[in-house]
């Protein structure tokens, strides 16, 4: 069972996942975000994904805090591209003493998710507010605006935008735009919007284009992620 709520850290979400008996490997879809995770008494970092991450070792409960796109590198002190498509121990990123303090805080919390949130809030208090330019970039791309036009509006050249995107998101702005567009499409499809209309509203050329992109980014067909109405569960 997966549960999620808005975090006290603006833009972030706190979540828990408890696999049911008989569940197969978990499939985590790319979303432009990075997560701080707690599992089996350990702190880990989930880097930004360019494709679905299939976790074959999901036994037992997981807790996490999912950071708004572009904000985690400043909080965690590591460029996003160094963790792209990876799950690493926090000890590989932070000094051992800091990891011990954070681990003790999560372990001593009423619930691990609350402890992770407390750690994130302390990090944010030290790091200051998010870069407003990156916030505007994410908002523009999530609204379906083209990368080139967004770069011009932000006063950034193509190379500078790509360099800043690698550090903040783990990949270039075109990949971020593809992932955000897919997330918009899946939200529409899950809300019951027909696939052809979903494709048009999310900015795809047509339904086959939507289907190709979903399979490319997730590894499965659109109908596997969003079964047609009335399909057996």
**Cα gap 88→65, rounded to integer Å:** 15
Q: Are 134 and 161 in contact (CB under 8 A)?
A: no
Tokens of residue 175, six digits: 């990949």
**Cα gap 213→100, rounded to integer Å:** 41
**Cα gap 49→34, rounded to integer Å:** 8
**Superfamily designation of domain 132-225:** Homeodomain-like (1.10.10.60)
pLDDT digits (tens, 9 = 90+) for 17-45: 987 765 656 789 999 999 999 999 999 99
Average pLDDT, the chain: 93
pLDDT digits (tens, 9 = 90+) for 71-115: 999 999 999 999 999 999 999 999 999 999 999 999 999 999 999
Tokens of residue 14, six digits: 């706190």
- Interhelix angle 147-154/173-190, rounded to 10 degrees, is 120
Q: What is the pTM of this model?
A: 0.92
Domain ranges of the chain: 2-127, 132-225
Q: Are 129 and 77 in contact (CB under 8 A)?
A: no
DSSP characters over 36-103:
EEEETTEEEEE---SS-EEES---S-EEEEEEPTTTHHHHHTS-GGGGTT-EEEGGGTS-HHHHHHHH
């Amino acid at each position: 069972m997966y549960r999620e709520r808005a975090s006290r850290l603006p833009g972030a979400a706190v979540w828990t996942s408890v696999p049911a008996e008989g569940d197969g490997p978990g499939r985590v879809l790319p979303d432009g975000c990075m997560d701080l995770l707690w599992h089996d008494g350990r702190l880990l970092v989930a880097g930004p994904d360019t494709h679905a991450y299939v976790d074959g070792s999901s036994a037992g409960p997981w807790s996490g805090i999912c950071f708004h796109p572009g904000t985690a590198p400043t909080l965690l002190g590591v460029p996003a591209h160094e963790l792209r498509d990876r799950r690493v121990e926090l000890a590989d990123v932070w000094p051992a003493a800091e990891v011990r303090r954070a681990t003790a805080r999560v372990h001593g919390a009423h619930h691990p998710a609350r402890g992770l949130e407390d750690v994130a809030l302390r990090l944010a208090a030290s790091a200051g507010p998010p870069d407003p330019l990156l916030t505007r970039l994410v908002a523009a791309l999530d609204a379906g605006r083209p990368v080139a036009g967004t770069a011009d509006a932000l006063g950034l050249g193509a190379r500078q935008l790509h360099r800043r995107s690698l550090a903040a998101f783990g990949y270039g702005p075109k990949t971020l735009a593809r992932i955000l567009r897919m997330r918009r499409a899946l939200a529409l499809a899950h809300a019951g919007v027909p696939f052809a209309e979903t494709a048009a509203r999310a900015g795809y050329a047509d339904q086959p284009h939507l289907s190709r992109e979903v399979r490319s980014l997730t590894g499965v067909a659109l109908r596997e992620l969003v079964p047609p109405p009335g399909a057996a569960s």
